[in-house]
Amino acid sequence: MAVLTTPPKESQSPRPVPRAPAVVPSRRPGITRPLSRRDPEPQQSNKQEEFSENEYLVTHEVGAGEDGWRLDHFLKDRYRKRSRESIQKAIETGAISIKREQSPHLHLGRLKPSAQVFNGDRVMVLSERKPEPEVNFNYRVIYEDDSIFVIEKPANLPVHPAGSYFFNTLLVHLKTQGHQDPLKMEREYFLVHRIDKETSGILVLAKNKESCAHLTKQFADRTTSKRYFAVVKGVVPEAFEVDAPMLRDDRSLISLKMRVGTIEEPEAQTAFTGFQRLEVAGDFSLVECFPKTGRQHQIRVHLAHAGHPIVGDKLYGIPETEAIRFYERRNLSAEAMAHLILPRHALHSAGLSFEHPTTKKRMTFVTDLPPDLREFVESQKLKTP
């Protein structure tokens, strides 16, 4: 049986299924069991089949704007990195099924790439689950209501699927209730902003599309307030600013690396961060960071650009030859490990303020340094904030 292994496009917010989906595709290739008059529910199988541990089911709901689309066209829109030929093969070999409860199109028959999908359909994709690196799912819920979900994220937890991480990400974990449910693409929890895998601290997610749009606009309009703590190398000035545009570093072999650029470079985007020194001890400074823009890796890049890389930063704090070893999942040299000092970069999202999307009240959330960073700070005789 052909399976789709590329995670769906990120904007659709995926959701995995380790076992026993609500609707099970027929063992006959490409067929969802047709409705008979005796069926209590349209195309609802009451037989619970077990999937192997390396399989999962992803559910995509067909919206009004996709009514009447070809099935292969619908899936190509969801899996943009997959070729149309591989999608068609998956359909023809039974990796795709449809759950349809609305009339008048209840009898689907054998699925073909040209089959139409209709508003309300649930397209089920059987996919292969591959091994992923271990992560830390011990996040703490700070606040939750019908519109927003605010947590304190631990280090070593990717926020969204990327690279080697799909199931072992915060977003998929939430959408599947801790990997207990099937992965529905349109389920609640929408990313509003992001923090890096190794960065700990406050993160807000929206629980519906309307709240997501409202919060996303606040970040885009820079009406939110963000505060971070960082432990850096060297003695920084009492207060300083870095106003330096950023863009992807096309000179690096690491695709996600960013760099400071100039306004003359077409792809460069404005980036501004304010810094306040809190404590100094020996060759380390504890710094409060206030990013006014939200570029990828902004605080890390700006501090490295200022000559004070964050302790433990494997991308901007060590030579690129060593960084490449890390991103290729090879062991870092003893020299690089000694230079990093910490197993993760010392950056923590300590404060976030925004307008609630429903009540319109200003909300402010704060957290202290997590135990690992607090221990390091205290070991260096730095006073904790």
The per-residue b/e assignment along 115-153, b for 16 or more CB within 10 angstroms, e otherwise, is bebbeebbbbbbbebeeeeebebebeebeeeebbbbbbb
Strands 347-355 and 239-243: unpaired
The closest alpha carbon to 170, from 223, 42, 27, 161, belongs to: 161
Distances (CA, A) of 218 to 295, 358, 362, 363: 15, 13, 12, 13
Angstrom CA distances, 202 to 210, 212, 367, stand at 21, 17, 7
Taken in order 317, 318, 324, 330, is the CA torsion positive or negative?
Answer: negative
As given in the structure block, the two tokens for residue 250 are 């096309």
Which residue in 121, 196, 249, 313 is the catalytic one?
Answer: 196
- Distance between CA 153 and CA 198 in Å, rounded? 10
Task: Provide DSSP, 166-204.
Answer: SSSSHHHHHHTTTTTS-EETTSS-EESS---TT-EEEEE
Q: Based on the residue annotation, tell me whether 196 is a catalytic residue of this protein.
A: yes
**Residue positions annotated with a catalytic role:** 196
